[in-house]
Amino acid sequence: MSICPSCDASPGRPFGTKDGFSLFTCEACELTYVDPMPTTEELAEFYRDYYKTRQYRQKLDSKVRRARRRIRRVKKGMVGSRFIDVGCNVGFAVEAARQCGLQALGIDIDAVAIGEARTLFPDCRFEHSSAEAIASADQRFDVVYCSEVIEHLPNVVSFLQAIQKLVTEDGLVFITTPDLGHRSVRSNPYAGEFIRPPEHLLYFTRRSIERVMRRHGFSYIRFQRSLKPTLKVLAR
């Protein structure tokens, strides 16, 4: 029997299979997840080649511009200027935050991406680290930015606990993730590349991300409007 990675022991109903992975949807929180999750070794193997296959450097200027628009929107509701990008990749949102006048730090568990980020954006600060490690070092931030990260994680609970520790009391966590509930996706989620294990292990809708985040300690949860199949969540 499959077990929801967010709820303690709620079984899931079959959601389908792709590339040899089975997916289930939790009856309680409606999170859709891969089960069994790949092991740490399997994920390490997968991500060893991942960086080479994804064209991270492509359209870098437009990525910085898009991140700048997003950060300006988030900044409106923000006090203070300490910004962290968790899963910063090659650092375009960190550069965007710096351009917006924030004290920006980017972290990523991918050492190659951090090396690349330091070369591309030498005026920004980057660390090869995880949300869990930075949180346990008692660092706090006014904005915790996590774009397209949460869907990759086999252990969503420790991640949510870490980012909750990272954010100040009146700060904001900003999460984006693909929207399984979007009208362009929900009628046929297996069309195209939307469902893609082991890269994406978790699939959220508005309702399920709200339930998962509430369960793990977030009380303020708001959604930004989005025309694309992307959830944009502001929370603390």
Structure tokens, 129? 């680290």
- Of 21-29, 49-57, 177-185, 228-236: span binding Zn ion (CB under 5 A): 21-29
213 is an interface residue for Zn ion by CB under 5 A = no
Report the residue number, 33 or 126, with the smaller CB distance to Zn ion: 33
- Contact assessment for residue 165 and residue 131, using Cβ atoms and an 8 Å cutoff: no
- Of 17-25, 26-34, 169-177, 181-189: span binding Zn ion (CB under 5 A): 26-34
Report the residue number, 114 or 175, with the smaller CB distance to Zn ion: 175
Q: Which positions from 41 to 60 touch Zn ion by CB under 5 A, shown as an x/- string?
A: --------------------
> 195 burial class (0-12, 13-18, 19+ CB within 10 angstroms)?
buried
In sequence order, what DSSP letters do the residues of 175-190 get, joined into one string? Answer: EEEEBTTSHHHHT-TT
- Contact assessment for residue 171 and residue 164, using Cβ atoms and an 8 Å cutoff: no
- Of 1-9, 146-154, 176-184, 198-206: span binding Zn ion (CB under 5 A): 1-9
Considering only 2, 15, 24, 29, the residue that binds Zn ion (CB under 5 A) is 29
Considering only 3, 21, 22, 28, the residue that binds Zn ion (CB under 5 A) is 28
Report the residue number, 29 or 202, with the smaller CB distance to Zn ion: 29
Helix (H) or strand (E) holding 16: strand 12-18
Report the residue number, 4 or 117, with the smaller CB distance to Zn ion: 4
CB of 2 to Zn ion, least distance (A): 10
Q: Which of 145, 107, 150, 144 is nearest to 129 (CA)?
A: 107
Cis peptide before 36 (omega within 30 of 0): yes
Considering only 4, 131, 143, 146, the residue that binds Zn ion (CB under 5 A) is 4
7 is an interface residue for Zn ion by CB under 5 A = yes
25 is an interface residue for Zn ion by CB under 5 A = no
Query: Given strand 125-128, what is the order of strands in its sheet?
Result: 125-128, 103-108, 82-86, 141-147, 167-178, 230-235, 221-223
Helix (H) or strand (E) holding 97: helix 92-99
Report the residue number, 29 or 160, with the smaller CB distance to Zn ion: 29
6 is an interface residue for Zn ion by CB under 5 A = yes
Helix (H) or strand (E) holding 147: strand 141-147
Interacting residues toward Zn ion by CB under 5 A: 4, 6-7, 10, 26, 28-29, 31
